[in-house]
């Protein structure tokens, strides 16, 4: 099937929409105006939609021809609680909130795919355009599924993408198998006995125990996980004490764990409990460990990875199939547990100037909007025609 040409007017329109979204970011579970903006643009395109799916989610439906085949395309919409320092003219107008992960670009890309597909009469079937809220750790995918996403808007397969800084702009990376990791939030509450800092023998020092625990935890991955497997344990915060001359009663350490296999996650969890118990016994205090599992592994099926790669190549985009997965997490995994599909990366270009994901200097590269929109439309058409 031939692609509909991506004209400059559409590229300029999507750039304007993307920059509006960037200037007006909303964090997870608060995407009211973002959702309204998406609905308004879908209405302008003449694409029917249903709002309020799983919170502020929106699902638009395009159907034509006699085929009963169906496919889903997804974009996330939420921003992060980060103060922007990029200095771009379209920087965030909302203090302490910014699109530091490119979800503004993902949303604009899916609107672009809607525009391309609505103009293109060469395909037949149904495309469900899923605009998802609350991807950043707030369960947006699960909420849409619980609200009947797949029953109300049938789709045989589902596809999505994430922009990827450091990968050449417009290049598509396709993985066979794992793309992103399973994650969990960790909290260690170390409880000792408070006392005077000059009389440590009369106290039980949770700060000292926390220091030993922090070091010991690094052995869980290095000595319990196959070196060829992917796993990360990071302690990111330590809080304890209020006065420089007091040994506090409690210290709290928080962090994250990431794995590319569920079995590895189980091994690490057992190791974390074992090390915490050992350190607690060594220093004569209590250590409580709370593990809150987050996303599962985001994993492509081989068939859908092939569809994605061929759709990208058919759109004239460079394709890489040899990049390793990342230890970042993505709640697209929950959609892939309901339907087969693929999640790809599309290069955002160089990372100079701190333009990594979740950086206060990050900005989505508007130049890749045509590539992303064309890829999304192309993979939908390929699946419907397969």
Do residue 140 and residue 24 come from a single domain? yes
The Cα–Cα gap between 281 and 107 comes to 51
The residues, ordered by sequence, that sit 6+ positions from 82 with a Cβ below 8 Å of its Cβ are: 96, 97, 98, 100, 358, 360
| Sequence-distant contacts of 121-124: CB under 8 A, at least 24 apart | 121/64, 122/1, 122/2, 122/381, 123/1, 123/64, 123/65, 123/380, 123/381, 123/384, 123/385, 124/64, 124/65, 124/66, 124/67, 124/69, 124/384, 124/385
CATH code of the domain containing 101: 3.40.630.10
Beta-bridge partner residues of 232: 258
Is 3 domain-assigned?
no
The total domain count for the chain is: 2
What residue numbers bound the domain in which 250 lies?
A: 182-293
Instruction: Select from 264, 293, 322 the last residue of a domain.
Output: 293
Estimate the crossing angle of helix 8-23 against helix 32-45, to 10 degrees: 160
CATH code of the domain containing 211: 3.30.70.360
Do residue 93 and residue 222 come from a single domain? no
For the stretch 101-135, pLDDT in tens is 999 999 999 999 999 999 999 999 999 999 999 99
Mean pLDDT estimate for the chain:
96
For the stretch 258-306, pLDDT in tens is 999 999 999 999 999 999 999 999 999 999 999 999 999 999 999 999 9
Tell me if 348 sits within 8 A of 163, measured CB to CB.
yes
Instruction: Select from 266, 293, 320 the last residue of a domain.
Output: 293
Handedness of CA 270, 273, 279, 284 (dihedral sign): negative
User: What average pLDDT does range 351-376 have in this prediction?
Assistant: 95
pTM above 0.75, yes or no: yes
The Cα–Cα gap between 313 and 105 comes to 21
Percent of the chain beyond pLDDT 70? 99
The Cα–Cα gap between 164 and 362 comes to 11
β-pairing verdict for 172-173 and 319-320: parallel
Q: What is the SS3 assignment for 80?
A: strand
Quick one: tokens of 267? 């091994």
Is the model's pLDDT at 227 over the cut of 70?
A: yes
Is 201 domain-assigned?
yes
Is 227 domain-assigned?
yes
Place of tokens 């081989």: 302
Q: What is the SS3 assignment for 195?
A: strand
DSSP 69: -
């Amino acid at each position: 099937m031939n692609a509909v040409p991506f004209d400059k007017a559409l590229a300029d329109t999507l750039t304007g929409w993307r920059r509006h979204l960037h200037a007006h970011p909303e964090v997870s579970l608060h995407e009211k105006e973002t959702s309204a903006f998406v609905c308004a643009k879908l209405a302008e395109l003449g694409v029917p939609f249903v709002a309020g799916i799983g919170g502020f989610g929106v699902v638009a439906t395009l159907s034509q021809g006699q085929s009963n085949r169906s496919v889903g395309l997804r974009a996330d919409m939420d921003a992060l609680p980060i103060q922007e320092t990029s200095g771009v003219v379209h920087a965030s107008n909302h203090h302490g909130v910014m699109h530091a992960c490119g979800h503004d670009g993902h949303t604009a890309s899916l609107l672009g795919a809607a525009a391309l597909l609505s103009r293109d009469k060469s395909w037949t079937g149904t495309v469900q355009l899923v605009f998802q809220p609350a991807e950043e750790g707030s369960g947006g995918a699960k909420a849409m599924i619980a609200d009947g996403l797949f029953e109300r808007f049938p789709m045989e397969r589902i596809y999505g993408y994430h922009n990827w800084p450091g990968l050449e702009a417009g290049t598509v990376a396709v993985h066979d198998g794992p793309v992103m990791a399973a994650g969990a939030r960790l909290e260690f509450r170390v409880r000792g006995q408070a006392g005077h800092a000059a009389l440590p023998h009369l106290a039980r020092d949770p700060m000292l125990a926390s220091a030993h625990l922090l070091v010991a935890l690094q052995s869980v991955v290095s000595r319990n996980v196959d070196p060829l497997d992917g796993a990360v344990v990071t302690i990111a915060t330590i809080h304890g004490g209020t006065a420089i001359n007091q040994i506090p009663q409690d210290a709290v350490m928080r962090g994250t764990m990431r794995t590319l296999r569920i079995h590895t996650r189980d091994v690490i969890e057992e190791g974390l409990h074992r090390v915490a118990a050992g350190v607690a016994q060594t220093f004569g205090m209590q250590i409580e460990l709370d593990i809150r599992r987050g996303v599962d592994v985001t994993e492509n099926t081989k068939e859908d990875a092939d569809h994605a790669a061929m759709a990208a190549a058919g759109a004239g985009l460079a394709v890489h199939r040899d990049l390793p997965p990342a230890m970042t997490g993505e709640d697209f995994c929950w959609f892939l547990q309901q339907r087969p599909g693929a999640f790809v990366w599309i290069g955002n270009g160089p990372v100079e100037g701190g333009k990594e994901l979740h950086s206060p200097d990050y900005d989505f590269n508007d130049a890749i909007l045509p590539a992303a929109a064309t890829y999304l439309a192309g993979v939908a058409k390929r699946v419907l025609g397969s």
